[in-house]
Amino acid sequence: MTFKFMNIQWESVLEMLQSKNIIKQVSSIDPLQMMSDPHYLIPTIVIAFALFALKFRKTLVFLLGCLVFWYACVHMLPKNGELKLHDVASFGTTCVVILGTWIYFFFIRED
C-alpha cells in the first residue's frame, strides 16, 4: 500500500532523506555550477548583502567559510580513491586558511 498525498510518492522522498542518501546528493552537487544559475545566484547575493548591511559579518564569514570548505571537498578530495599529493596539499591549505579566518573573526577581531 502506497501513501499518496497530493500525487507525491512520499516513499521515495523519505528514502532520499536518509543520511547516506543526503551525503551522496550533497557531494554530487557542484557549487560553481549551482552558483552560475541565476535562481541561486541572485538570492545568495541579496542574502549576503543583507547580512553585511545588518552587520552580521560573523555569520557571513561563517557561511562563506562553509561554502569554501564545500567547494574544497567537492573539487579537491579524490572521488575514485586515488590520492594525489597536490590535491591533498591544496585541501589542507584551504582548510588552514578557513580555520585561520574563523579564528581571526571570532576570537581576535573586536567589532
Task: Identify the pLDDT of residue 29.
Answer: 77
pLDDT tens-place string over residues 50-66: 888 888 888 889 999 99
DSSP string, 61-82: HHHHHHHHHHHHHHHHS-SSS-
Phi, psi of 8 (to 5 degrees): -110, 130
Q: What is the DSSP letter of 37?
A: S
**Per-domain boundaries in the chain:** 4-108
Contact criterion met (CB below 8 Å) for 106 and 58: yes
pLDDT tens-place string over residues 17-43: 776 767 677 777 777 787 788 888 898
